[in-house]
Amino acid sequence: MIKSDLEIAHASKMRPISEIASKLGIAHDDLRPYGKYVAKLPLKLIDQEKLKGKKLILVTAITPTKSGEGKTTVSIGLSEGLNILGVKTAVVLREPSLGPVFGMKGGAAGGGYSQVLPMESINLHFTGDFAAVEKAHNLLSALLDNHIHSQKNTLNIDPRKIIWKRVMDMNERALRDIVIGLGGSAQGIPRESGFDITAASEVMAALCLSNDLMDLKEKLGNIIIGYTYQDEPVRAHQLKAQGAMAALMKHTIMPNLVQTIEGNPAIIHGGPFANIAQGSNSIIATKMGLSLADFVVTEAGFASDLGGEKFLDLKCQYGNLKPDVAVIVATIRALKSHAGMPYEELKNPNSQAVKDGLPNLDKHIENMKHFMLTPVVAINKFATDSEEEINAVLAHCDKMGVKVALSEGWEKGGNGCLDLAQTVKEAAESGMSNFTPLYHFDWSIEQKIETVARKIYGAAEVEYSVKAKQQIKLFNKIGLDKLPICIAKTQYSLSDDPQLINKPTGFTIKIREFDIAAGAGFIIPIAGTIMRMPGLPSKPAAENIDIDAEGNITGLF
């Protein structure tokens, strides 16, 4: 009988958070506790001097199936393994969004024997960071509509050109496109608007790209909420919003310390998605991990073309970070799916399908080499994987001269990741990586997009809609062209078409339009039909979640 993640989590004996903190040399008095097992960490623990010589391990993945391929699980297991090997390691992760928790995917705190604890708290509210981001975002929205209504629109904002929506941390299809301000002159100006999911909020992006509270406040003030009738950008500081927004995030800017099942430190902070935002935890959390531990294992959402590329081009350039190794998580299931096997049949052994799916893995290996990073392939082992299937991948990597190891963290915790940990440790200490971003911020918008599209996605060309072309002109005019790019596209393909599995070639990336995050500091080319607000599935996970009189939660996975 296989235990559920929640049962395994409950069976684990947690240690007081001050014990975990002391492993990182943090004094009890520096902790801001949230219950017995969670604490926020003050920013003073970041020490630029201590970053030197530390090792940063990026965990990325091949193109995933809809279940995800277990990057978080592998990251946790790898950090347990490194700790067993005597390497002082912290795993640094994102905070889960309630959208997937109540929707389809479930929680985001790892799985099996590679989890972070307390998993229910982490998955439900945690320390309120998402709620604060949401509130800060929506305060700006309220001040904006109130400006037009009560302050007689002295900023001359064109209500048709407002780009700042509202956010909610929920899969809320019905709020994607709405009309607000109905009901007559006491209720404001009727206009079209909508909600995005909180993980896609520019406030979340700004939080994750800030170096400190004043940096965050400045970024918040620089947010562009829309344009005047004369097409001049209007920024949040013109609505005097940034002070109150930053005040709401006083504690949110502090990373959260929790523990892995084996009692090692995990730092969890920020939660942008990787298909529609930059998709990795905060610069602050990563730097704090590097200040306090010798190795930091961190993940970036979805595959190397999404979270991976954005981590390396956007976050590493903004945060002046230099990763040492890129772990590429592959699963037998996902490889078979790239050979065209239907989702329901992926548990059936089929070595030929595994082999047929390997070009996808090869492309993600190639992608990491574009950044001059040493790749290590981690095969995240599932109970349904056959030996023959696994051997096919091992043999392929050996032939290619790429380091590879099994990751059995889900089943065995850190002891299931010792090979992987040893391989990663050697690769990191070899000094063979020489991290180089793919583009420089001062390239033109088109140059940046085409570089990512051709080198990372494998596209033949990039096509811009009429609207996108007009927007590029506007960005050039108002000086937004020197910002890095954060392409929004499907996670199910290297292209912008979810149907093009494996390693597509000869395709065109179609830039439909741009969103901007001028405060957080990037522009968002939107490729294909990706949406910034998911919907619930026909059987929402929420229907199975329950709690008993003693406060035990069930149905969370």
**434 CB neighbour count, 10 Å cutoff:** 11
Closest Cα to residue 80, out of 113, 38, 40?
113
One DSSP character per residue, 507-549 reads -EEEEEEEEEETTTTEEEEEETT--SS----SS-GGGG-EE-T
- Name the catalytic one among 274, 303, 326, 353: 274
Q: How far is the CB of 334 from its own copies (least distance, A)?
A: 26
Cα–chain center distance at 48? 24
Which of residues 198 and 374 has its CB atom nearest to its own copies in the complex? 198
Q: How far is the CB of 147 from its own copies (least distance, A)?
A: 9
Amino acid at 555: G
- What's the number of CA atoms in the CB half-sphere (13 Å) around residue 255? 33
Annotated active-site residue 228? The verdict is no
- Name the catalytic one among 40, 55, 94, 425: 94
Which of residues 66 and 477 has its CB atom nearest to its own copies in the complex? 66
Closest Cα to residue 347, out of 386, 384, 381, 390?
384
Annotated active-site residue 105? The verdict is yes
Q: How far is the CB of 189 from its own copies (least distance, A)?
A: 8
- Name the catalytic one among 102, 130, 302, 507: 302
Is residue 4 a known part of a binding site? no
Which of residues 32 and 369 has its CB atom nearest to its own copies in the complex? 32
Q: How far is the CB of 144 from its own copies (least distance, A)?
A: 9
Q: What is the Cα–Cα distance from 470 to 474, expressed in whole angstroms?
A: 6
Q: How far is the CB of 270 from its own copies (least distance, A)?
A: 17
Is residue 252 a known part of a binding site? no
- Residue 403 parent element (H or E): strand 403-407
Annotated active-site residue 73? The verdict is yes
Q: What is the Cα–Cα distance from 535 to 526, expressed in whole angstroms?
A: 19
Q: How far is the CB of 194 from its own copies (least distance, A)?
A: 8
- Name the catalytic one among 54, 55, 71, 412: 71
Q: What is the Cα–Cα distance from 321 to 287, expressed in whole angstroms?
A: 8
Closest Cα to residue 110, out of 124, 123, 125, 128?
123
**178 CB neighbour count, 10 Å cutoff:** 14
- Name the catalytic one among 54, 105, 165, 489: 105
Instruction: Write the Ramachandran bin of 128: left for phi over 0, alpha for psi from -120 to 50, otherwise beta.
Output: left
- Name the catalytic one among 130, 164, 410, 514: 410
Is residue 71 a known part of a binding site? yes
Is residue 70 a known part of a binding site? yes
One DSSP character per residue, 266-306 reads EEE-----TTTS--B--HHHHHHHHHH-SEEEEEBSSSIII
Q: How far is the CB of 10 from its own copies (least distance, A)?
A: 14
Is residue 66 a known part of a binding site? yes
Phi, psi of 206 (to 5 degrees): -65, -45
Q: How far is the CB of 176 from its own copies (least distance, A)?
A: 5
Q: What is the CA radius of gyration of the chain?
A: 23
Annotated active-site residue 102? The verdict is no
Is residue 65 a known part of a binding site? yes
Quick check: 249 and 133 in contact, CB under 8 A? yes
Q: What is the Cα–Cα distance from 191 to 189, expressed in whole angstroms?
A: 6
Burial 132-148 (b: 16+ CB within 10 A, else e): bbbbbbbbbbebbbebb
Q: What is the Cα–Cα distance from 462 to 459, expressed in whole angstroms?
A: 7
Annotated active-site residue 94? The verdict is yes
Is residue 72 a known part of a binding site? yes
Annotated active-site residue 71? The verdict is yes
Residues annotated as catalytic are: 71, 73, 94, 105, 274, 302, 382, 410
Binding residues for ATP: 65-72
Binding residues: 65-72
